Amino acid sequence: MKNILGSKGANLSEMTNQGIPVPPGFIISTQACIEYYTNKTFPKGLADEIKLNLDTLENTANKRLGSENPLLLSVRSGAPVSMPGMMDTVLNLGLNDDTVKALADATGNERLAYDCYRRFLDMFADVVLGIGHKNFETILWTT
Amino acid sequence: MVFGNTGNKSASGVCFTRDPATGENQLYGEYLINAQGEDVVAGIRTPKNIATLKNTMPVIYNELESTCRSIEKHYRDMQDIEFTIENEKLYILQTRTGKRTATSAIKIAVDMVKENMIKKEDAVLRIDPNQLEQLLFPTIDPKYPTNTIAKGLPASPGAATGKAVFSSKKAILAKERGEKVILIRSETSPEDVAGMASAQGILTARGGMTSHAAVVARGMGKCCIVGCSKISVFEDAGVFIAGDINVHEGDTITLNGTTGEVILGEAKLTRQGISGDFKTILEWADTIRNLGVEANADTPNDAKTALDFGAEGIGLCRTEHMFFSKERLTYVRQMILATTEDEINTALERLLEFQRKDFYGLFEVMGKKPVTIRLLDPPLHEFLPRGKEDIEKISKEMHVSTERLKDTIQRLHESNPMLGHRGCRLGITHPAIYDMQVRAIIEAACELAKDWEGGGSGRNGTEHKGSTLNTTTKDYKYPNIEIMVPLVADVKELIITKKRIIKTAKKVMEEKNTTVPYKIGTMIEVPRAALTADEIAKEAEFFSFGTNDLTQMGFGLSRDDAGKFLPSYIKQGILESDPFQTLDQKGIGELVKIAVTKGRTTRKDLVIGICGEHGGEPKSIEFCHKLRLNYVSCSPYRIPIARLAAAHAALKERIILHSQTSQSSQTLP
């Protein structure tokens, strides 16, 4: 299990089966990752599978990614072996200049919406684009 | 995803299902109200103790507690859990096996057996033998900040605080005054043993993990840092320099032997003994293991420590260590410098007194447990002074001209002492020394046997509380003596030495009108001995592998010089680890294997042990188990590690056997 789902994914699945309250989600397997690293391109059909599972997720949550009632995703990485500090996470994926307003409206909580948005920008920039987290931290603490 | 940052009814946190520091069965963790993701561990906001959640959100706290319990029950181990509370609803975001200290690991394992969650075997397997070191030495309390001025190799774990001294003599004098000191040397030599024994800890600028200082310190269970190349030691000036800091004689420093850190000033220390759950785990390990665990011990005090730690015998008593105290060293030197038979005999007579007392003490403490005594091993020049100043001092003290002293040093000088005039080679060419030692052993045994028989409780009429010496329950009459001949390379060496041992022993027993049993065996430390073990086993009643020397000679590695290139060899992947720390199973292990097979072909019931540094190293212990050795012998402070590692070896074998039989039964039609 761990070899395919990573230890984080395997444990989350196992806890879900045990009836532990784990937020719904899906896991992209290590096989897909290996294939990507081998062929430098996403495996065939991966995009469709993600779309299909995202649909299920959206139906469960009764929210849609990028809509006026936006679904936000936590994208987390894992591996079969424990590598503390090596695993990146991007939270609040699904926010942009429009959906942040929608989130504020939907939740009636503007602070929450913008707190999530600034966190997303920070993490996305740091993890995906390689712009250091430090830069955001400095601005946050000087404003 | 779920949100811990929607307001004051939300939170994000991390918790362990049991305390990772103490093992207490209670939630341990932190949380932040109105927070997300990494906030708790990022250290920007100071998180709150999980216990306060009981007050702020009592319902959620109860749910978290019961959820943690069920996750732990499912995984049957302590878990490290991430959670988020979104508008008073709990979500679990991750779980994994929690990292923990040795103390915590032991308590959790024992508790889980009591709670019927795991079996004793699981509990034993869950404790990493290497981790036990944390428990056996005083350690620096990490709660207090320290001022680290240099870092060396962590040769012997634990911690020590004391005033800096730069010579063994000063260390001994300071101890007599009741002061605690740290002995600092560029490197140590056998002459420093008494000084090391007087110090709280030892720091050297040179040498590796198996250098003299490191080996001796581990044997003494003393904190030691070696190879601290960033410091310059000026012994004569009484100062060492670390960067721009000068540490003078008398300044207080602290050593962290677990990390190799040299700390200016005093640090807070803590210490634990073998009791409670630690004792329980070791007792469970004892019921599982097949290998015996004995100790390398040279004094009655060492032997008592070894027994406290669970030693089942003394696998190695290095008689030369009995010669290094100042008073005795004088007689050893008199013997070496003697020009007439009379002079030699006078010196030997005095040494005999000391040795007999030493052996009596050892046998008395050990009762019926085996005591393996290795006859003198090092070359004689190791007992002579080095350096002009020392030579002048000794010549004055001994009323011998410096010329004569220098001549003797010159005469005994060897280019390669490790392969030189030592061990049984010395015994064969200078038989008087071994004669004296054998006489001391047998005289001590005869005296003790008489004292035991007389219903006495030792020579001084003292009775140790709860010791094996209780005469009412004693089921033995004699000490269990094994005389061990070092450095044998050919059976003929053993034949000659053995003949002489038997002759001396017989003579002593006649004189004392008492008979005591004893065995004669040999070290297997020269590769040639391993290869001709079938012949040697005809004469030897037991074998003990000296894997330090076997590695030096078999690998062609000088232990004292290998530090210069071994790190590079390990880095480049030529070697996986330091072969003086972990036995090289492929090469040196093959020599051991050959010797075991050949030895037992000649003598089926040949008792075989190992007494090198490897005897206390878990991987090497596993190898010894596989080769069906009878016991391992290590320094007293490593005995708990060896007991646990031996149990691990036995359990791993059972697991492999089990999986093989279940696999083969599955493939059966």
Cβ(B332)–Cβ(B351) below 8 Å: yes
Chain A CB within 8 Å of residue B92 CB = yes
Report chain B's mean pLDDT, rounded to a whole number: 90
User: So what's the pLDDT on residue B455?
Assistant: 63
Chain B CB within 8 Å of residue A140 CB = no
CB < 8 Å from A in window 279-298 of B: none
In angstroms, how far apart are the furthest CA atoms of chain A?
Answer: 46
Q: How far apart are CA B278 and CA B106, in angstroms?
A: 6
- CA B329 to chain CA centroid, Å, is 26
Cβ(B13)–Cβ(B31) below 8 Å: yes
Decide if B95 and A15 are in contact by the 8 Å CB cutoff: yes
Residue at token pair 């508790």 = B111
DSSP for B291-321 reads SEEEEE--SHHHHHHHHHTT--SEEEEEGGG
Residue of B nearest to A118 (CA): B36
Structure tokens at B563: 């530090």
Contacts of A92 in chain B (CB under 8 A): 1
**Rg of chain B on CA atoms, in Å:** 28
Instruction: Give the model's confidence band at B37: pLDDT under 50 very low, under 70 low, under 90 confident, else very high.
Output: confident
Structural domains in chain A, CATH included, are 1-62 (3.30.1490.20), 73-143 (no CATH)
Contacts of A111 in chain B (CB under 8 A): 7
Closest CA to B321 of B484, B185, B193: B193
Chain A CB within 8 Å of residue B668 CB = no
Catalytic residues of B: 212, 611
Which residue stretches of B116-223 are H helix? Answer: 120-126, 133-136, 168-176, 193-198, 212-220
> Taking the CA of residue B183 as centre, how many other CA atoms within 13 Å lie in the half-sphere pointing to its CB?
31
Residue of B nearest to A115 (CA): B5
Chain B CB within 8 Å of residue A15 CB = yes
Stated pTM of the model? 0.81
pLDDT of B460 strictly over 70? no
Instruction: Give the model's confidence band at B597: pLDDT under 50 very low, under 70 low, under 90 confident, else very high.
Output: very high
Instruction: Give the model's confidence band at B467: pLDDT under 50 very low, under 70 low, under 90 confident, else very high.
Output: very low
Helix axes B547-555, B588-602, angle to 10 degrees: 120
Decide if B7 and A21 are in contact by the 8 Å CB cutoff: no
Cβ(B203)–Cβ(B182) below 8 Å: yes
Residue of B nearest to A77 (CA): B94
| Domain covering B11-100, topology | D-amino Acid Aminotransferase; Chain A, domain 1 (3.30.470)
Question: What beta strand segments (E) does B223-349 contain?
Answer: 223-226, 231-234, 239-242, 245-248, 252-256, 261-264, 269-270, 292-296, 314-318
Q: How far apart are CA B70 and CA A15, in angstroms?
A: 10
Q: Comparing B69-83, B116-130, B149-163, B346-360, which segment has the lowest mean pLDDT?
A: B149-163
pLDDT of B470 strictly over 50? no
Q: How far apart are CA B503 and CA B501, in angstroms?
A: 5
Residue at token pair 């063994």 = B168
pLDDT of B461 strictly over 50? no
Cβ(B535)–Cβ(B495) below 8 Å: no
> Taking the CA of residue B168 as centre, how many other CA atoms within 13 Å lie in the half-sphere pointing to its CB?
17
Cβ(B212)–Cβ(B219) below 8 Å: no
Report the C-alpha dihedral over residues B96, B643, B645, A7, rounded to 10 degrees.
-10
User: So what's the pLDDT on residue B466?
Assistant: 40
Contacts of B95 in chain A (CB under 8 A): 11, 15
Q: What's the pLDDT tens digit per position in B352-392?
A: 999 999 999 999 999 999 999 999 999 999 999 888 888 99
Chain A CB within 8 Å of residue B2 CB = yes
Which residue did the predictor score with more confidence, B650 or B461? B650
DSSP for B40-76 reads HHHTSS-PEEGGGHHHHSHHHHHHHHHHHHHHHHHHT
Cβ(B622)–Cβ(B641) below 8 Å: no
Domain range list for chain B: 11-100, 138-270
Instruction: Give the model's confidence band at A4: pLDDT under 50 very low, under 70 low, under 90 confident, else very high.
Output: very high
Q: What is the mean pLDDT of residues B293-317?
A: 95
C-alpha angle with apex B213: B209 to B219, nearest 5 degrees? 90
Closest CA to B164 of B213, B243, B234, B98: B234
Instruction: Give the model's confidence band at B665: pLDDT under 50 very low, under 70 low, under 90 confident, else very high.
Output: low
Give the phi and the psi of residue B54 in degrees, each rounded to 5.
-60, -35
pLDDT of B667 strictly over 60? no
Burial (0-12, 13-18, 19+ Cβ within 10 Å), B63:
middle
Cβ(B183)–Cβ(B201) below 8 Å: yes
The 3 state secondary structure assigned to A92-112 is EECCCCCHHHHHHHHHCCHHH
Chain A CB within 8 Å of residue B7 CB = yes
Instruction: Report the residue from A12, A23, A91 with minimal CB separation from B37.
Output: A91
Q: What letter would DSSP give residue A89?
A: E
Pairing of strands B480-485, B370-374: parallel
pLDDT of B63 strictly over 90? yes
Helix (H) or strand (E) holding B521: strand B518-524
For B138-270, give the CATH class: alpha beta
Cβ neighbours of residue B626 under 8 Å, at least 6 residues apart? B649, B653
Question: What beta strand segments (E) does chain A contain?
Answer: 73-76, 89-93
Instruction: Report the residue from A22, A92, A112 with minimal CB separation from B91.
Output: A22
